[in-house]
């Protein structure tokens, strides 16, 4: 089974929600839609489900045109970020509801509900009501109801966003395992790059209704094909610096100079934009190709066991994503270290010219 979008667009009152999307999703695949709020994730999912019709283009299921087929005639399930369960029904009846609507026999309903509940670890909650459940248990119930009927397509619209960190990690792992053995197309929408990385599979980057890049999650992360893709698939956003390659050196903002490392020697001379992920910049040198920069602290933003350190000098404004808690006063002068072998290089048109290699660099 496959699901294909051929040049699909949706325009409402002259506002473009989806712009010429061309995508294919295969049976048994887990697919992530990654984009900021209002990037078109929900709009695309509504088109895939048959809740909305495209303004132009076609949607094909196994090669058959289903563009105009309404949702009630498609074998589709959806899970939303809100815990949507029937409050007057037990967990068992909530999960069983789509099977009853489909006219499935009593014995088969019992078997499928028990099996699905076991997969999601809620088999001991089947006689409870939704209001007696925790948030995580309610979302597991909603997920079980979506999975129980073996839909061809299961859509997850940011289903874990309202859960705490521990529950989200737990459910992500379970979802990956669930879909490894199912012949279902799973599509999961999120605004968080780290969640896309954790889920794996394939990732499609969306921006203002456009598909920016799509492919295996690791490939999209390690080789963003343009500046926008690198910015979307980085949290915090990737740091970007203007620079030039001239002779045997690189210069940033005509002020910071360092020798070309082996990864960059194949690039021609000229102007480029150089990117480095916040998690790759450190407070101590760790490689023999580290570029040392003197900066001052603008803000040390502590979030749990991580610190987002905002720094600047006369040439750059940068963000570091550091493990652990690092407390700094504003305007504190510090040194930071950028491993030049981890630089992304984009040409004047914003297209990827060079991605970092994954080679090991000798520690300094």
Q: Three-class SS string for 255-291?
A: CEEEECCHHHCCCCCEEEEEEECHHHCECCCCCCCEE
Q: Cα separations (Å) of 186 from 77, 156, 247? A: 10, 8, 49
DSSP 223: -
Mean pLDDT of the chain: 91
Class in CATH terms, 239-354: mainly beta
Q: What is the pLDDT of residue 136?
A: 85
The helix or strand, by DSSP H or E, that contains position 205, with its residue range, turns out to be strand 202-207
Q: Across residues 147-158, what is the average pLDDT?
A: 89
Most confident of 25-29, 50-54, 143-147, 162-166: 50-54
216 backbone dihedrals φ, ψ, rounded to 5°: -55, 135
Q: Across residues 288-316, what is the average pLDDT?
A: 93
- Please tell me the distance from the alpha carbon of residue 61 to that of residue 158, in angstroms, as a whole number: 24
Q: Cα separations (Å) of 29 from 215, 218, 339, 344? A: 12, 15, 35, 29
pLDDT above 50 for 362: no
pLDDT grade, residue 364 (50/70/90)? very low
Residues of the chain with CATH 3.40.50.300: 2-228
Residues of the chain with CATH 2.40.50.140: 239-354
Three-state DSSP class for residue 345: strand
- Number of other residues whose CB lies within 10 A of the CB of residue 244: 17
pLDDT above 70 for 361: no
On whether the CB atoms of residues 5 and 65 are closer than 8 A, the answer is no
On whether the CB atoms of residues 289 and 339 are closer than 8 A, the answer is yes
CATH no., domain 2-228: 3.40.50.300
**Structure-model confidence comparison of residues 78 and 5, the more confident one:** 5
Give the predicted TM-score (pTM) of the model: 0.89
């Amino acid at each position: 089974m496959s699901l294909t979008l051929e040049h699909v667009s949706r325009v409402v009152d002259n506002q473009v929600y989806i712009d010429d999307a061309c995508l294919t999703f295969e049976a048994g695949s887990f697919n992530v839609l990654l984009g900021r709020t209002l990037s078109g994730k929900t709009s695309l999912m509504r088109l895939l489900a048959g809740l909305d019709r495209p303004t132009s283009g076609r949607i094909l299921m196994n090669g058959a045109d289903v563009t105009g087929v309404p949702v009630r005639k498609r074998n589709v399930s959806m899970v939303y970020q809100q815990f949507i369960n029937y409050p007057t029904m037990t967990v068992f009846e909530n999960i069983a509801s789509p099977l009853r609507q489909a006219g499935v026999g009593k014995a088969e309903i019992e078997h499928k509900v028990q099996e699905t509940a076991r997969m999601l670890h809620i088999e001991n909650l089947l006689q409870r009501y939704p209001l007696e459940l925790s948030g995580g248990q309610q979302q597991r119930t909603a997920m079980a109801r979506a999975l129980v009927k073996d839909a061809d397509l299961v859509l997850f619209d940011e289903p874990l966003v309202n859960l705490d960190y521990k529950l989200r990690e737990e459910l992500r792992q379970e979802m990956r395992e669930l879909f490894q053995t199912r012949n279902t197309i799973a599509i999961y929408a999120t605004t968080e790059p780290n969640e896309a990385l954790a889920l794996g599979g394939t990732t499609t980057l969306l921006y203002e209704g456009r598909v920016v890049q799509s492919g295996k999650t690791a490939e999209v992360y390690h080789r963003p094909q343009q500046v926008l893709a690198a910015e979307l698939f980085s949290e915090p956003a990737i740091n970007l610096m203007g620079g030039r390659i001239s002779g045997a050196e690189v210069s940033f903002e005509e002020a910071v100079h360092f020798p070309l490392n082996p990864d960059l020697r194949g690039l021609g001379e000229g102007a480029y934009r150089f990117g480095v992920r916040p998690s790759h910049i450190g407070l101590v040198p760790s490689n023999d190709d580290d570029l040392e920069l003197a900066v001052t602290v603008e803000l040390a933003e502590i979030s749990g066991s991580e610190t987002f350190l905002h720094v600047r000098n006369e040439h750059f404004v940068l963000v570091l994503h550091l493990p652990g808690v690092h407390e700094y006063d504003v305007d504190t002068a510090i040194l930071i270290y950028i491993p030049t072998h981890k630089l992304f290089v984009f040409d004047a048109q914003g297209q990827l010219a060079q991605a970092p290699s994954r080679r090991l660099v000798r520690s300094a």
